Amino acid sequence: MTDRKANAIAALRQQTIELPSWAFGNSGTRFKVFGTPGTPRDPYEKIADAAQVNAFTGIAPRVSLHVPWDLVDDFSDLSRHARDQGVTIGMINSNLFQDDDYKFGSLTHADPAVRAKAVAHHRQCIDVMRATGSTEMKIWLPDGTNYPGQDSMRARQDRLAESLAEIYGAMDDDQHIVLEYKFFEPAFYHMDIPDWGTSLLHCMALGERAKVVLDTGHHAPGTNIEFIVAQLLRQGRLGAFDFNSRFYADDDLMAGAADPFQLFRIMHEIVDGDALRPDSGVNFMLDQCHNIEAKIPGQIRSVMNIQEATAKALLVDADALAAAQNAGDVLAANGVLMDAYNTDVRGLLADLRVEQGLDPDPMAAYARSGYAETIEAGRVGGAQAGWGA
């Protein structure tokens, strides 16, 4: 146990989690978007808020941007601002779901002019990558159909393959695509990239610099997500996670809030597949919306939940587990996992934070910092950032 604990601490020291800029803006449901005092009004203020999460947790040094939501006149200046705040720009996310021209599809649209517009948007994202030093672009495709016969599913796949090839060909040699999937919404009869297999097929056709991104909320109920993780790791095609929680559909709740045991099982596959290493090529990210809870504390709590699940996964007795599995001892094998999951790792993580010069309780430390009161008083006037801004 002593060796496992020491190895766990060493791995946890290197763990990082990327934050989404949009999580700090206003969000809600399709019924209502809620505003809150102190909400950022521009990308600079979003990054300043994200930097607070890193300051109190110590493991969130990158911020994902969303284009066009986070467009600025000078991205070199925004990158400098991020560095001054102690973070860097991470993944660049494209947006294909808020333009009237994309009503019947974007990269899969029957009209070549619409497809060309969608491809051009990604060229714009590539320019942002070059300006910020980002090496990854995430594509989530909202395209699909609502009714049988609305369009040819085969033709839409052909158009998608052609559009993705254009985007991939426009990227630099050190730039990568991570391709997301979602089994329903906003289309309800079929999505053009509904599952990991479809995403993987397109990535394999593109080349080695295209990998799959797994959003934990983008699956049908009962889907064994950790199996998908294991399969993509086997193929070297797991590019990133979008961590969040769901009770029913794509709820985008705080990671680990709905099913912490599932998060542990996922992280166990990550550890077992040796993918926790910083050079593994897997980017661990949050993708959440904080509709009713405070945004910065919501991100802090999510980071802490992932840390706890990771620590427990690192404490699994791999030798005992393998022995039980090879012996066909079902209860013993399950017991090894449950022992690790039921371990209270909060003290271990608190000690690690103290060792790193951080407060052992990030939530309490942020509450005492006065940052929330400062931004509530200072961010008066202007348009609050949110969906579409």
pLDDT single digits (tens) 345-377: 999 999 999 999 999 999 999 999 999 999 999
Which CATH number fits the domain that encloses residue 260?
3.20.20.150
Determine contact, residues 121/95, Cβ cutoff 8 Å. Answer: yes
Per-residue pLDDT at 386: 87
- Going by C-alpha positions, the residue among 184, 192, 188, 145 that lies closest to residue 164 is 192
* DSSP designation for 189: S
pLDDT tens column, 171-207: 999 999 999 999 999 999 999 999 999 999 999 999 9
Strands 136-139 and 190-191 come out as: unpaired
pLDDT tens column, 212-241: 999 999 999 999 999 999 999 999 999 999
Per-residue pLDDT at 197: 98
Question: 80 lies in which domain range?
Answer: 2-378
DSSP string, 235-274: TT-EEEEEE-B-SSSS--BPTTSS-HHHHHHHHHHHHHTT
Per-residue pLDDT at 388: 57
How much is the mean pLDDT over the chain? 97
Report if pTM > 0.85.
yes
Let me know if residue 387 belongs to a domain: no
Let me know if residue 189 belongs to a domain: yes
Q: Is the peptide bond before 20 cis (omega within 30 degrees of 0)?
A: no
Q: Is 70 exceeded by the pLDDT of residue 389?
A: no
- Provide the phi-psi class of 11: left if phi over 0, else alpha when psi is between -120 and 50, else beta: alpha
Q: Is 80 exceeded by the pLDDT of residue 1?
A: no
Report the pLDDT averaged over residues 110-135. 98
Q: Is 80 exceeded by the pLDDT of residue 255?
A: yes
| Number of domain units in the chain | 1
Q: In this structure, how many other beta carbons lie within 10 angstroms of the beta carbon of residue 319?
A: 10
Let me know if residue 385 belongs to a domain: no
Per-residue pLDDT at 236: 98
Per-residue pLDDT at 158: 98
Let me know if residue 316 belongs to a domain: yes
Q: How far apart are CA 271 and CA 315, in angstroms?
A: 10
Let me know if residue 234 belongs to a domain: yes
